[in-house]
Chains A and B, each alone.
Chain A
Amino acid sequence: MSMVKHEKTAPRDAPLSETTFIGWLQKNLFSSWINTILTIISIYIIYSVSKSLLIWGVLDAVWVAENRRECFAISKHGACWAGVLIWFDNIFYGRFPRDQIWRVNLGGLLLVLWMAPLWLPRVKDKIFIGLSTVFLYPFLAGYLFAGGDKGIFMQVMTTGAIVCLIGNTVHSILGMTSGRSLPEYLIAVLGKEKASDGNQRNTLLAILAVAYVVVYALQMGWTVMAVPWSKWGGMHLTLVISGIGITSALPGGIILALGRRSRLPVIRVLSVSFIEIFRSVPLITVLFMATTMFPLFMPEGFVLNKLVQVIIAVCLFSACYMAETVRAGLQAIPKGQYEAAHTIGLGYWGMMAFVVMPQALKHMIPNIVGSFIGLLKDTTLVSIIGLFDLLGMLRAISQDIPWRGLHHEPLIFGAALFFVICFAMSKYSRHLEVKLSAGEKH
């Protein structure tokens, strides 16, 4: 008698909770009486909040009106988005001259153009592109925003930035289409693949020099109207302050973090006390210090404008926070990496620049994005000391005579704006975190 079963046993059906909607509901929402009560409460909260928001913000809302009284006349209990819509340009560009707004837009567009290759596949030398964004873009953008007479220094730097931007763009188009970098392509076009390294390099330098001279000559005739800093405002100002803050925080934070981990006592003590002092006080006190004490620090007759004071304060503050991020990144690097770098004969700076920092920075990218989100939110504090950033502009709406007392709508609009930006960035940083740590597991 054989005990072998000949026919195949049919697989058991998946449990109902996995296949049917009712089953899913039972498992996730009504598994016990406590859960049932919680579900009902949640449904009630969601229903009442979304209903009142929908009625107030959409169904009963007024979109076109001349002033707040007209809003009330049309709909007494609805949102008055008309005020926000009329102030739309102010919210984004502050009091930037209306016929010059294209400069702000162009600045933003150039930044996108400059940084887009970082996300494109098959583009080489992304580190160079990233560094050039940090070191050259600000000059071009700075001239676009501020305008006026270009000094020799600004001419040199904007020319460099334009040449670099053109090079970057051509380079990334080439990279996308053929997988080659710009120098390789130029060498190939000129038929110098066989030439010596020195020859190739000289050729490329010559091309660079010619391009530089041509662009320099062209840009000499290009000037834009000067816009004083006091006309900057809104979203633009918020992004300028936080952008400068984060880009200068990175080098500053790296130096401070290295100082904090240094074996030299004087350097360590100075770095630690600098970091801890700024981290233990609120940003608003640092901003007040900047506006009340910086004028005293400067030699007599030397006046910094308020925007520069604020930017210096934000930079110092964010550098100290960045230092802690960098320190955490450095601590995550195994000791063996340091020892290996020493073994192959690298000194301190070589070790840091070629072995430790590249690895640490890669790990830190999510945290850096996190600090940028924090800084973007903290930048709203400059409205307290009288700059018209995004929040300052939103508050100004309720002071505007036709819209006096219009508080809710601008604040909710601003909150939604911040939410979209910050939420997108934090999602992206989480995605990066997963992507980067996936490379670690073998």
Chain B
Amino acid sequence: MAIDGAGKTVATLKPKEKFDFFHDERVRSVAYQILTACVVGWLAWYLISNTAHNLQVRGMNTGFGFLSATAGFDTDFKLIEYKPGVGTYGRIFLIGCLNTLLVSFFAIIFSTVLGFAVGVLRLSSNWLVARLALAYVEIVRNTPLLLQIIFWYVGVFALLPRVKNSLDLSAGAEVAFLNNRGLYTAWPVPDDLFWMTIVAFLAAVVGVFVLRRWAHKRQDETGKQFPIWSASIALLIVLPYLVYLASGSTLNWDVPTLQGFNFAGGAALPPAFLALLVALVSYHAAHLAEAVRAGILSVEKGQTEAALAIGLRPKKAISLIIIPQAMRAIVPPMISLWMNVVKNSSLAIAIGYSDVVALFMQTALNQAGYAVEMVGMTMAFYMFISLSISGVLNIYNKRVQLEER
């Protein structure tokens, strides 16, 4: 309703638009959606019915019952107890997932550290160092990862000395050995009272958080600074060590010793694991280095100048002004790189490291059949990991989003 000049209300003119069924946007959008749903639904039904028919014709079993059936093959590398003929396919799946997670975990940590280092070297004022870092990044990024993995495996780790002439990595202390069967290191064996030390360590971690909050609060109120870093490190080391001494517990080391043709005792990592780890680390570090470089360059020069102008020393300017802003640009590509590490660890299959794809999707599938279930489970595992990592990324993005005025 509108009011005209004389104060009378007059009915607003209704648009004289005819409802045209074939040219109405709403009708069309509903029609498009129904059409799409029908096509996709038909396709899904077609594939499923074909699959069901084929499974029946070939006499293949279906269902997830196989997970509790015993598997007859062994794996060379496992983190949990498993015996062929006793362990189940469900356990095989678990071993595969854990192996994938183990190599991805270490690869993520090492490649992040190396990537940051190389990224900073790329920006070094030293011409030669910057060029060297550039050469590393370009060579690694422009050759296929699979080729690199195979090269590290057959070209480096398979050519290490035999067990008898193992390289001693601990320089004579004889606690870590490298040979063509892998890496053997001493492994701590905690005794009954060791839990007290772990509790003390956890308490120290909590203490560090409390200390940091207190120090921040004090600095806000009084302006006095507190040496947080040295205090935290001292707390983290001293407290567990004191408890360790006080509780009288002892930490034994299980040292690998040469017995017959191989080492016994300690922890052992197969060469395939090492080759995969090295290849994943060097490949993703090169990618991360580019992201780090771009992130640091994305902070405007004015920010540094402003920080110096208000009297911050260069070190403080870097840690308080540049790094926090650069991280905003670095973290999203970094997390998607972590996702790539997990996905690319599936290339383990080429060199025989028993990750989830090699163990479950290939060996177990060849042994037991159940193609649909096994492929589905493996993909679901990767989807779960990817979705959790991207969930973390979303939370981070929300927290650091630039609040523009």
How big is the A interface, by class? 35 or more
Residues of B within 8 A of A52 (CB): none
Residues of B within 8 A of A383 (CB): 146, 350
Q: How many A-B residue pairs have CB under 8 A?
A: 156
Residues of B within 8 A of A377 (CB): 143-145
How far apart sit A395 and B150, CA to CA, in the bound complex (Å)? 9
Contact B51 A384 (CB under 8 A): no
Binds A, one of B2-10, B194-202, B206-214, B380-388: B380-388
Residues of B within 8 A of A419 (CB): 139, 142-143
Contact A293 B372 (CB under 8 A): yes
Contact B150 A378 (CB under 8 A): no
Q: Would A418 and B142 be within 8 Å (CB), given that A280-B383, A280-B386 are in contact?
A: yes
User: Whole-angstrom distance from the CB of A235 to the nearest CB of chain B?
Assistant: 13
Contact B146 A270 (CB under 8 A): no
A43 located at the interface, meaning its Cβ lies under 8 Å from any Cβ of chain B in the complex: yes
User: Whole-angstrom distance from the CB of B47 to the nearest CB of chain A?
Assistant: 5
How far apart sit A415 and B155, CA to CA, in the bound complex (Å)? 13
A230 located at the interface, meaning its Cβ lies under 8 Å from any Cβ of chain B in the complex: no
Residues of A within 8 A of B32 (CB): 264, 267
Contact B151 A277 (CB under 8 A): no
B394 located at the interface, meaning its Cβ lies under 8 Å from any Cβ of chain A in the complex: no
User: Whole-angstrom distance from the CB of A408 to the nearest CB of chain B?
Assistant: 5
- Which residues of chain A in 331-368 are interfacial with respect to chain B, using CB atoms and an 8 Å cutoff? none
User: Whole-angstrom distance from the CB of B57 to the nearest CB of chain A?
Assistant: 6
Closest A residue to B346 by beta carbon equals A282
Contact B143 A415 (CB under 8 A): yes
User: Whole-angstrom distance from the CB of A333 to the nearest CB of chain B?
Assistant: 21
How far apart sit A229 and B151, CA to CA, in the bound complex (Å)? 28
Contact A29 B150 (CB under 8 A): no
B267 located at the interface, meaning its Cβ lies under 8 Å from any Cβ of chain A in the complex: no
How far apart sit A299 and B51, CA to CA, in the bound complex (Å)? 8
Residues of A within 8 A of B146 (CB): 380-381, 383-384, 391
How far apart sit A411 and B40, CA to CA, in the bound complex (Å)? 44
Residues of A within 8 A of B379 (CB): 277, 281, 285, 289
B68 located at the interface, meaning its Cβ lies under 8 Å from any Cβ of chain A in the complex: no
Pick from A282, A300, A395: contact of B344, CB under 8 Å: A282
Closest A residue to B154 by beta carbon equals A407
B29 located at the interface, meaning its Cβ lies under 8 Å from any Cβ of chain A in the complex: yes
Q: Would A38 and B124 be within 8 Å (CB), given that A284-B357, A407-B155 are in contact?
A: yes
How big is the B interface, by class? 35 or more
- Which residues of chain B in 339-369 are interfacial with respect to chain A, using CB atoms and an 8 Å cutoff? 339, 343-344, 346-347, 349-350, 357, 361-362, 365
Contact B372 A284 (CB under 8 A): no
How far apart sit A395 and B138, CA to CA, in the bound complex (Å)? 24
User: Whole-angstrom distance from the CB of B269 to the nearest CB of chain A?
Assistant: 22
Contact A423 B138 (CB under 8 A): yes
Residues of A within 8 A of B329 (CB): none
Q: Would A285 and B50 be within 8 Å (CB), given that A42-B129, A384-B350 are in contact?
A: no
How far apart sit A281 and B345, CA to CA, in the bound complex (Å)? 11
Pick from B36, B132, B148, B349: contact of A384, CB under 8 Å: B349
Q: Would A296 and B128 be within 8 Å (CB), given that A284-B346, A391-B146, A414-B147 are in contact?
A: no
User: Whole-angstrom distance from the CB of B157 to the nearest CB of chain A?
Assistant: 12
Residues of A within 8 A of B124 (CB): 38
Contact A38 B126 (CB under 8 A): yes
B401 located at the interface, meaning its Cβ lies under 8 Å from any Cβ of chain A in the complex: no
Residues of B within 8 A of A378 (CB): 144
Contact A418 B143 (CB under 8 A): yes
How far apart sit A266 and B33, CA to CA, in the bound complex (Å)? 6
How far apart sit A373 and B142, CA to CA, in the bound complex (Å)? 8
Contact A292 B50 (CB under 8 A): no
Contact B40 A285 (CB under 8 A): no
How far apart sit A373 and B144, CA to CA, in the bound complex (Å)? 10
Residues of B within 8 A of A267 (CB): 32-33, 36
- Which residues of chain A in 1-54 are interfacial with respect to chain B, using CB atoms and an 8 Å cutoff? 28-29, 31, 35, 38-39, 42-43, 45-46
Pick from A46, A284, A297, A408: contact of B50, CB under 8 Å: A297
B127 located at the interface, meaning its Cβ lies under 8 Å from any Cβ of chain A in the complex: yes
Residues of A within 8 A of B145 (CB): 377
Contact A299 B50 (CB under 8 A): yes
How far apart sit A173 and B35, CA to CA, in the bound complex (Å)? 47
Contact A285 B375 (CB under 8 A): yes
Residues of B within 8 A of A45 (CB): 132
Can you list 9 A-B pairs, Cβ within 8 angstroms, ordered by A? A29-B127, A38-B129, A267-B33, A277-B379, A280-B383, A297-B47, A300-B54, A407-B154, A415-B143
17 additional A-B residue pairs with CB within 8 Å, beyond A266-B36, A422-B142? A28-B125, A39-B128, A42-B132, A264-B33, A266-B33, A267-B36, A277-B383, A280-B387, A281-B379, A281-B386, A282-B347, A285-B361, A378-B144, A384-B347, A407-B151, A408-B151, A423-B142
3 smallest CB-CB distances across A and B, nearest first, come from A280-B386, A28-B127, A422-B142
